[in-house]
Structure 1
Amino acid sequence: MSTQSDNTDGMAPVGMRCGARSRRAALTAAVAAASLAVSLTAGCTRHGRDDDRSPQHTPAPARPAPAAPSSAPAVTAAGSPLAVKIDNAPAARPQTGLEAADVVYAEQVEGGLSRLMAVYATRLPAAVGPVRSARESDLELLRQFGRPALAFSGAQHKLLPLIGRAPLRVQSPDRAPRAYYRATGRPAPHNLYLRPARLLSAAPGGAALTTGFGYGPAPSSGGIPTLSRTVRYPAARFTFTWSAARGGWLVAMDGTPAVSAGGTPLVPATVVVQYVRIRASRFHDRLGNRTPYTETVGSGEAEVLRDGRSFAASWSRPAATGGTTFKAADGSRMNFAAGPVWVVFTPAP
């Protein structure tokens, strides 16, 4: 289940042929998808591999970010945010839709690589991706949002029953095939994209961001002027460089500036380096590598980057159903700057 080695068998081909064979393939895939939806609800599935596969009848438009038609059905009610697992391998960059996310979580996965979880509440981009597979610790992280929609490409077979029982609106390609497409110009599995408007009728608004974050003025003291901060994983790194002109932190991933698919730099207003316990989970990929489990319930230390300064802080999340609160060194609430927030989970020292 590593970022680089997901099985790509059974992916929707780009430019599917017309004719009877195509119709037969589409009918076969539709029956398989319906069967999978029933089995996943029951807690098991025969397609439960971290293979990022999508149904054979998933459309594959050539445009990288097509808008959803107004008649597209909304299968998730407004009021819950949309969370999307996003690929962060070099072949997946630049990603689409990250610039519209209210919160982006960066987590460590197999092989010391990284993957992203983007949360959307105040606005929905036309497309998001590349979409990739879920991990066990995502379920704990997302409990703070009540019953959010989770868009992901697949998961390790034994994890699927847990996902099916979690308080989530599961929106995988098997559950919502019309919301996904395969883009041209990129190799699979780094080419699966989501149309959010086919999952949510409208952006639910800021009230859906039940993260526990507080926003407001920065502490009057205690911050250290900071031009750049790098967070390293065994096989990945994030660097955040302050830009006074843009009023935020320019993101670089593995030494390369992070931009949107349209070339716009990613510039979160606040960056949180959250020190957490990262342990081995009970799941592993096909090569036997244990999946890291990021514990987001508990308490610990943190660094909050905002306004060109770094503030020492602490975090607390006593229960999975609650958000995470941050306090400054003097015990007062640690406010974030208005705008997007990136949270990078890193092992506690």
Structure 2
Amino acid sequence: MDIGRSHPERTPRTAPASRPARPTRPARTTPARTAAALLAATLTAALLAGCATTPRAGADDAVNGSVKPRTHTGPVLAVKIDNAPAARPHTGLDAADVVYVEPVEGGLSRLMAVYATRLPPVIGPVRSARQSDLELLRQFDRPVLAFSGAQRKLHPLIDKAPLRAIEPGEVSGAYYRGRSKPAPHNLYLRPGRLVRSAPGAAALDATGFRFGPAPSGGRAAGSRTVRYPAARFTFTWSAGRGRWLVAMDGRAARKAAPATVVVQYVKVRKSRFHDRLGNHTPYTRTVGSGRATVLRGGRAYDVVWQRPRAGEGTRFTTRDGRPVNFARGQVWVVFARAS
């Protein structure tokens, strides 16, 4: 359920009730106790200063715990973004390093934006999560997932996933309702309330993407359109800007201009989850292998994608196994149904 709007299938997780504090009797103060308290406070402050980048213990340990060595300063932030026509134009999407386009119920689409190199002041509109998100995010090192609601039966899977899921109401001041759009298309996120800072470009190494000179070959491609049953994306090359201009359902997307676009053909099946109208939620399988088309520099390259395990990124190669580089800048990955 999106905050402020009733929905029988998508509900926020229920936070555990806190135990009331037991009243204690104030202790007598003596010079010795005062000195001991001051020493303890000094030691505590020193320890905290030395561990300023270490996540707090407790529930966040399972999220931000050190499972593999890090070369960056924290987790990436992934935000589920509404892509219904009423939700546009988006806010903060141009600051994302990677934008994934996912199929959802009714033939529509939803976006998941990943932030590693910079955080905009505001991101949105924010909407609900899907099961496919959990597999897709396994490639990152304990990411933070910002979303608004999920189907009730999906919540246990979200809680078990190696990520930190934060919904409205869990962090004070992180989410708010805007006034320019009707609910539920007006929920926005202040990302600085969820993560201290952007972790840096090294956090994107987990994707498996390679950046560098364009591969040889390819074919001229001025535009490319990807169609879902009830959504359409068109990417048009702008030589003047050196970017692909994005149109959604025939309307230009403000500020959206990726350097590289990947049309990745994947298996899409029905999940065991469905919306209140009985439409099954698509499950987009991002582990495995298949074909893809990489768009960069006004050219299209037919490539092969491989992601052997959920904990690994996706490698894009030519048919003879040579790695395919992306252009530096924002990357859009559009998941399309494999034929």
TM range (shorter): 0.7 to 0.9
- Match in the other structure for 2:320: 330
Shift of 1:331: 2.0
Distance 1:7 1:236 in 2: 25
Larger Rg: 2
Q: TM-score, normalised by structure 2?
A: 0.80
Among 161, 180, 184, which residue is 1:185 paired with?
180
Task: Report which stretch shifted further, 330-339 or 224-233.
Answer: 330-339
Q: How does 1:1-349 map onto structure 2 within 5 Å?
A: 9=5, 36-38=14-16, 78-209=73-204, 210-221=206-217, 223-259=218-254, 265-349=255-339
Shift of 1:329: 3.2
Shift of 1:36: 2.0
Q: How far does the alpha carbon of each residue in 1:197-238 deviate from its partner, in whole angstroms, 9 at most, with x for none?
A: 1111111001111100011111122x1100000000000010
Distance 1:96 1:7, change over 3 A: closer
Q: What amino acid is the match of 2:101?
A: A
Distance 1:9 1:276 in 2: 33
- Match in the other structure for 2:40: none
Q: What amino acid is the match of 2:272?
A: R
Q: Percent identity?
A: 67
Shift of 1:8: 5.2
Shift of 1:321: 0.3
- Match in the other structure for 2:45: none
Q: How far does the alpha carbon of each residue in 1:93-123 deviate from its partner, in whole angstroms, 9 at most, with x for none?
A: 0000000000000000000000000000000
Shift of 1:178: 1.6
Over aligned residue pairs, what C-alpha RMSD do you find? 1.9
Asked whether the 8 Å contact 2:3–2:148 carries over to 1, the reply is no
Distance 1:248 1:329 in 2: 26
Q: What amino acid is the match of 1:270?
A: T
Asked whether the 8 Å contact 1:36–1:174 carries over to 2, the reply is no
Give secondary structure in 2 for the equivalent of 1:189: coil
Question: How many positions carry a matched residue from both structures?
Answer: 283
Asked whether the 8 Å contact 1:114–1:236 carries over to 2, the reply is yes
Structure 1: gaps spanning 5 or more residues: 12-32, 40-73, 260-264
Distance 1:81 1:284 in 2: 29
Shift of 1:287: 0.6
Asked whether the 8 Å contact 1:83–1:117 carries over to 2, the reply is yes
Distance 2:191 2:243 in 1: 26
- Match in the other structure for 2:49: none
Q: How far does the alpha carbon of each residue in 1:64-106 deviate from its partner, in whole angstroms, 9 at most, with x for none?
A: xxxxxxxxxx998751000000000000000000000000000
Distance 1:123 1:253 in 2: 25
Q: How far does the alpha carbon of each residue in 1:275-301 deviate from its partner, in whole angstroms, 9 at most, with x for none?
A: 000000000001110000000000000
Shift of 1:9: 3.0
Distance 2:246 2:4 in 1: 30
Q: What amino acid is the match of 2:207?
A: T
Asked whether the 8 Å contact 2:294–2:300 carries over to 1, the reply is yes
Distance 1:144 1:330 in 2: 25
Q: What amino acid is the match of 1:218?
A: A
Shift of 1:144: 0.2
Asked whether the 8 Å contact 1:276–1:296 carries over to 2, the reply is yes
- Match in the other structure for 2:69: none
Q: What amino acid is the match of 1:175?
A: E
Task: Report which stretch shifted further, 109-118 or 212-221.
Answer: 212-221
Q: What amino acid is the match of 1:340?
A: Q
Give secondary structure in 2 for the equivalent of 1:38: coil
- Match in the other structure for 1:50: none
Q: What amino acid is the match of 2:308?
A: P
Q: How far does the alpha carbon of each residue in 1:234-265 deviate from its partner, in whole angstroms, 9 at most, with x for none?
A: 00010000001111100000000001xxxxx3
Give secondary structure in 2 for the equivalent of 1:277: strand
Q: TM-score, normalised by structure 1?
A: 0.78
